[in-house]
Structure 1
Amino acid sequence: MIKQAERISKLPPYLFARIEQKIAEAREKGVDIISLGIGDPDQPTPSYIVEELNTASRETANHQYPSSVGMLEYRKAVCQWYERQHGVTLDPKKEVVSLIGSKEGIGHISFCYVNPGDINLVPDPGYPVYGIGTILAGGTPYVMPLKEENGFLVDLDIIPEDVAQRAKLMFINYPNNPTGAVANREFFEKVVAFAKKYDIVVCHDAAYSEVFFDGQRPLSFMEIPGAKDVGIEFNSLSKPFNMTGWRIGWAVGRQEVIEALGRIKSNLDSGVFQAVQVAAIKALTGPLDCLEDMRKLYEHRRDMVIDKLNSMGWQLEKTIGSFYIWVPVPKGYSSAQFCELIFEKANVIITPGNGYGEYGEGYFRISLTVAENRLKEALERMKKVQW
């Protein structure tokens, strides 16, 4: 038997792959499963974007190899988006790179800076790819706990001096997956100062930047003075435009970091299909009514889910960002035990918090990307379970 590389043996099974397998096995047996586990929008991509793809896909020039860093027109559209949404000016030639979805860039950025034995600062609970990319590059993730008493913000003051001095990258993510927390200006300013002091590249994952409620628009990290000197920001069209399967995103910010990521990509992939980039330009520069409709839909679902959970005995505050609800498990249960109970007794999938790291233990996550009637039914099923 050929022995696998150590980097593969260090990787845990990907959380959502396990969930998908569990759903598939149950459905093969004819069980009606309601999955609240994966954050994949249930609404269609706006029709005008689909129509643009249809037209662009018929253009022969779009069938050739694209640029690995992205069409200049696409990168200009990203810059226009930042100017329109955040008042931030970017150079499309030097401060923007296209990505095959932000996950791809997050996974590859460690290869640009991490040597075997190096440290990356990784939030916990957090999106698994921050740590996975670190491990694949030969580095070691150093956990930054996200605790409820701190509003699920990283506490920079508890990072040991020797760790900070050795760290290469710091991953942060607001609005946050899985907690739904949103960062304020003071926090981002502290991150900039910390990164400057220790010469760390900040990697802000802003995938949920447009999923916010009660009119409280989250800040882009790029809005903070000095942010472009210390880091980059990832984002994509997946969540705001219901384009998860299209696989297109970007990274913006510090020029040499963007160049390094583009160089990695030019050696590993051939970029995004140009017709998809053309459609993405239409999305980024076109009307944004669909974003407000999306927010209203998720806000309604958020209110319904939190009200229902509170009627079952929880005391949850309404989240401001992302389309996730982060919920403490009842006393006497671990995250895995409670989620298994709900699966077995209610045929409902909820995600155990420990799948996002050790500090996710004691919580579970519900995604709002499910039709209202199915959300209601899932919650009614949960209500009937004795725990």
Structure 2
Amino acid sequence: MEVVPSKKMSLFEPAIFGHLKKFAKEQEEQKGLDLIDLSLGSPDLPPHPMLLQSMSDLSKRATSYGYTLTGSKEFNEAVSSYYQRVNHVEVDPDTEVLQTIGSQEGLVHLPIAFCNPGDIVLTTNPGYVAYAAGISLAGATPYYIPLDETNGFLPDLDAIPEHIAHKAKLLILNMPGNPVPMSPSIEYFTKVIKFAKTYNILVVHDAAYSEFYFTGNSPISFLAAPGAKEVGVEINSLSKSFSLAGARVAYIVGNPKMVDIMKRLKSNLDFGIFDPIQSTAAVALNHAEEITADLRKTFASRHSILMKGLQEIGWEVAPSNGGMFVWTKYPYPLDSISFTFKAIEETGVLMVPGTAFGSNGEGFVRLALVQENERLQEAVKRLKTMAV
């Protein structure tokens, strides 16, 4: 019997991450390499003890194993409280919050909920791979805004042609970003809102790394900018900030009409998240200030070590004061895929080639801050010895 994939499956080629891991494993076995994996942005810090205790206790309850359908009242109110305390934004827990099964699920489904085939979606190049997946599934057409040094790695809205802006339905932003950790500001978000209102474009801000800020007093939410809820939503995840990646819990917050449309879509797709995960996520949000303070200390130190170390060996590092990654241009005449494989072979350091995130990533690599300080220092030391 012949098993033939649908034509739509041509949109989903195997990601480079698997090839990198396979090659690294082979090198480890053949040469006994000591690998330093800076490829995936998977949190290496354990969840806070209070979260581990909560999950353990709640999972023992016989009543925890039914369908939950939508986010619980407890979870939605925790999101609302978190936004009020941390971002100084009022959020209605009943109409302006929607739980998702991790942010990737929400990001992929958002274009399906709002775009018709042929609609234009503004996104960035380079950009997080889930955006392209959602746009493709919706049958929409991406228009890529380049992220480069000329505009400080910020999406240049003024460079979008007038005829494209008039046709655009959705704008996807991500700050601090993946792979480029450019930092947001209220001034920039205010400009985004003006742009969205001018051209009647919905805005989605991916704030998965909002707690990863190393200067200032608080994360900057898109919703903190005046008028933000009139034009869009923010999607945030507990995967990185609270080390709950495997729990798959996130939320969309903002414009009530957009939230309601997403609720309608999701009511046809899933039956909700395991109740102990929802309750533990609420505990995390209600104790965010306590939990994320230690996270920032750890990642600020790692960020400083890797940024300075790469600069000292002659690499050009994109400026940033937050995020979970370092985006850097390496000083060797190799394409980014060839370079990353050579780096594994020569040094045992795993990075992600910039072109995994779009054509404008050529010549760059992304390094994740997921190793302890000593390992990051060792990674820089090894990279300095490359004979390319």
TM tier, smaller: over 0.9
- The answer for the alignment partner of 1:42 in structure 2 is 44
What's the secondary structure of 1:70's corresponding residue?
A: coil
- The answer for the alignment partner of 1:228 in structure 2 is 229
Assess if the C-alpha contact under 8 Å between 1:303 and 1:318 holds in 2.
no
Q: Map 1:69-108 onto structure 2 (within 5 A).
A: 69-108=70-109
CA offsets 1:303-331 (integer angstroms, 9 cap, x no match): 21122212212354762010211111214
CA offsets 1:105-132 (integer angstroms, 9 cap, x no match): 0011111012222221111111011111
What's the secondary structure of 1:268's corresponding residue?
A: coil
**For residues 259 and 88 of structure 1, do their structure 2 counterparts lie closer, same or farther at Cα, with a shift above 3 Å needed?**
same
Task: Name the amino acid aligned to 1:342.
Answer: A
**For residues 290 and 3 of structure 1, do their structure 2 counterparts lie closer, same or farther at Cα, with a shift above 3 Å needed?**
same
Q: Map 1:246-265 onto structure 2 (within 5 A).
A: 246-265=247-266
**For residues 17 and 169 of structure 1, do their structure 2 counterparts lie closer, same or farther at Cα, with a shift above 3 Å needed?**
farther
Please state if 1:168 is matched with 2:169.
yes
Identity score, percent: 39
- The answer for the alignment partner of 2:122 in structure 1 is 121
Please state if 1:292 is matched with 2:293.
yes
CA offsets 1:154-174 (integer angstroms, 9 cap, x no match): 111111222222222110000
- The answer for the alignment partner of 1:357 in structure 2 is 358
CA offsets 1:340-381 (integer angstroms, 9 cap, x no match): 221111121111111111111121111111122322222222
TM-superposed CA distance for 1:15, in Å, is 4.0
Q: Give the total of aligned pairs.
A: 386
Question: Cα RMSD (Å) of the superposition?
Answer: 1.7
Bigger Cα displacement from structure 2, 364-373 vs 123-132: 364-373
Instruction: Give 2:58's match in structure 1, choosing from 46, 56, 59.
Output: 56
Assess if the C-alpha contact under 8 Å between 2:20 and 2:341 holds in 1.
no
Bigger Cα displacement from structure 2, 299-308 vs 130-139: 299-308
**For residues 315 and 144 of structure 1, do their structure 2 counterparts lie closer, same or farther at Cα, with a shift above 3 Å needed?**
closer
Assess if the C-alpha contact under 8 Å between 1:196 and 1:230 holds in 2.
yes
**For residues 163 and 315 of structure 1, do their structure 2 counterparts lie closer, same or farther at Cα, with a shift above 3 Å needed?**
closer
TM-superposed CA distance for 1:88, in Å, is 0.4
**For residues 209 and 165 of structure 1, do their structure 2 counterparts lie closer, same or farther at Cα, with a shift above 3 Å needed?**
same
Task: Name the amino acid aligned to 2:49.
Answer: S
TM-superposed CA distance for 1:334, in Å, is 2.0
- The answer for the alignment partner of 1:279 in structure 2 is 280
What's the secondary structure of 1:260's corresponding residue?
A: helix
Task: Name the amino acid aligned to 1:273.
Answer: F
Assess if the C-alpha contact under 8 Å between 2:98 and 2:251 holds in 1.
yes
TM-superposed CA distance for 1:188, in Å, is 0.8
Assess if the C-alpha contact under 8 Å between 1:10 and 1:135 holds in 2.
yes
1-structure distance, mates of 2:24, 2:89? 42
Assess if the C-alpha contact under 8 Å between 2:317 and 2:329 holds in 1.
no
Bigger Cα displacement from structure 2, 306-315 vs 168-177: 306-315
2-structure distance, mates of 1:370, 1:315? 21
Structure 1: where are the runs of 5+ without partners?
A: none
Assess if the C-alpha contact under 8 Å between 1:302 and 1:318 holds in 2.
no
TM-superposed CA distance for 1:25, in Å, is 4.4
**For residues 103 and 317 of structure 1, do their structure 2 counterparts lie closer, same or farther at Cα, with a shift above 3 Å needed?**
closer
- The answer for the alignment partner of 1:157 in structure 2 is 158
Task: Name the amino acid aligned to 1:251.
Answer: I
1-structure distance, mates of 2:75, 2:115? 29
CA offsets 1:201-228 (integer angstroms, 9 cap, x no match): 1010000000011336441000011110
- The answer for the alignment partner of 1:146 in structure 2 is 147
TM-score (norm 1): 0.95
Task: Name the amino acid aligned to 1:75.
Answer: N
- The answer for the alignment partner of 1:65 in structure 2 is 67
**For residues 81 and 15 of structure 1, do their structure 2 counterparts lie closer, same or farther at Cα, with a shift above 3 Å needed?**
farther
1-structure distance, mates of 2:200, 2:230? 10
TM-score (norm 2): 0.95
- The answer for the alignment partner of 1:110 in structure 2 is 111
Task: Name the amino acid aligned to 1:62.
Answer: S
- The answer for the alignment partner of 1:301 in structure 2 is 302
2-structure distance, mates of 1:386, 1:150? 32
2-structure distance, mates of 1:360, 1:319? 17
Bigger Cα displacement from structure 2, 77-86 vs 55-64: 55-64
Task: Name the amino acid aligned to 1:327.
Answer: T
- The answer for the alignment partner of 1:342 in structure 2 is 343
Task: Name the amino acid aligned to 1:282.
Answer: V
